[in-house]
Amino acid sequence: MKTISELIADATAVLGDACNVSYLHPTIYFICTSDDWSRVDADARFLEFSKRIGWSGEDLAEVLSHGFVQLLLLTSAELEDDYDFTKHGDVGQHWLSWFSTERNRRALGSPREMSPDGPRALHFYGFKGGQARSSVLAILAKSLADDGARVLVVDADVEAPSLDSLFNVAADDVSSTLMGLCGWSDVISPLALVYAGQRDIGKVDLLACRPRPNRFDADFAGFLLSTTFNAQVLETASEKIRVFAGEAEGDARPRYDFVLFDHRTGLSPSVLPLMKGWSGSAVIFARPDGMSNGVEHSGVFDALLQHNSENPGAFITFSLDPKENRTSFLRQNGRFVERLLYSISDALTLDEVEGDDLAIDPTELDPFWILWKHDAAMLAGGGARSWAAVSGEL
């Protein structure tokens, strides 16, 4: 069977700049513009287009039947008069837009301008669960607080939130939650001081995903439904967090130095809108034992890392074997790690001129892959301390 990606690739290869992609949630508009279309009706345009790209009419109709793609065969005048709204497609709010074409991925553009003295956003993600993503986030947050940083952790795992349990707290009011920021509250009031750093100024605050009382169950289900149909809801919430975190307090410092987002796994529709609202470095958990399942070959990691071309992020491989070491792991899985680091290389050179062969050798990016062993991570001054150094690189 033919696929959406093949349709866009094959048509672009033949028709070039006449083809453009615009994503307006939840539809990809694939637009092929030619003034030749003025001579024929819609059915004839469809048949002529399929002939030009070397597809059968049946294959083209099958791809379009799923409803995710709308093919627009338009003249320049028709595009201007009737489909001007497609020029304002908001690339980056869903995986569909990132998987459509390389040119469309580049349309995301530069990250939002942030003050050099403002807070840093780190987005924690794993394609599969069970990779210690939330646990490592909590360890890093505490380590940063011990070093005197003000840290806000945001539970954005909208289907399986857990940070409140990890910090042994509960949000009783909707204003202390991500759900509140999405229309249920006009106030942002994170759970304060869920961890106090070893120095007086360090702390961790928590913005939970949902209020704990079961009277909010139906509202939370409605929240999940609304964010699935309207990606803008989460993007706006992320923007609110960015503004809130950067507001100066009494000592003229921003309210927080770091904001750590704990994201949902897989292709959840919540991930990219939150990253678009506040572009930051991606902390990606990946293991070669089936927990990533070949995802390093797809565009998933590119979609995450290319949100911040200056500081794309880092990879963490969590190992349950306390005897595992870096040398033995690389001996068995060197190619896997190399592919991960090439994703970072691609993100760092995204804005460079194509064809200049400016790819960065993965060996130069070795610090951006971390082997995190189970026991070492739980020892005070062990794995957490390694993160204190790495956080400066992200």
Closest listed residue to residue 12, CA positions, set 44, 49, 56: 49
The string of DSSP letters for 177-194 reads BHHIIIII-S---PEEEE
What pLDDT does 186 receive? 92
pLDDT attached to residue 353: 47
Structure tokens, 272:
């990219």
Q: What is the pLDDT of residue 91?
A: 63
Tokens, residue 20: 């453009």
User: pTM above the 0.75 mark?
Assistant: yes
Predicted pLDDT of residue 384:
47
pLDDT tens, position by position, 322-363: 888 899 999 999 999 999 999 899 888 875 545 445 678 878
Q: What is the structure's pLDDT at 124?
A: 98
Structure tokens at 132: 């210690």
Tens digits of pLDDT across the chain (394 residues): 889 889 998 999 999 989 988 888 888 899 999 999 999 999 999 999 999 999 999 999 999 998 889 999 999 999 999 998 887 766 668 888 777 655 445 544 444 555 566 899 999 999 998 899 999 999 999 999 999 999 999 999 999 999 999 999 999 999 999 999 999 999 999 999 999 988 778 999 999 999 999 999 999 999 999 988 888 899 999 999 999 999 987 677 899 999 999 999 999 999 999 999 999 999 999 998 876 767 777 789 988 998 887 899 999 998 888 888 899 999 999 999 999 999 899 888 875 545 445 678 878 899 999 998 875 445 444 444 444 445 555 5
The pLDDT value recorded for residue 254 is 92
Alpha-carbon span 233 to 161, nearest angstrom: 18
Could you tell me the residue ranges of all domains in the chain? Answer: 4-106, 120-390
pLDDT score, position 110: 46
C-alpha to C-alpha distance for 314 and 284, rounded to whole angstroms: 6
pLDDT at residue 55 in the model: 96
**CATH number among 3.40.50.300, 3.40.50.720, 3.30.70.270, 3.30.360.10, domain 120-390:** 3.40.50.300
> Which fold, 4-106?
GMP Synthetase; Chain A, domain 3 (3.30.300)
- 58: part of which helix (H) or strand (E)? helix 57-65
Tell me what pLDDT residue 374 has: 73
Task: Return all residues near 28 (Cβ < 8 A) that are at least 6 apart.
Answer: 4, 21, 22, 68, 69, 70, 96, 97, 100
> In what side-by-side order are the strands of the sheet with 150-156?
191-196, 203-207, 150-156, 258-263, 120-126, 281-285, 313-319, 369-373
State how far Cα 22 lies from the chain centre: 19
| pLDDT reported for residue 67 | 82
What is the Cβ-side half-sphere exposure of residue 113, based on CA atoms within 13 angstroms?
0
> Which residue do the tokens 């505490």 mark?
142
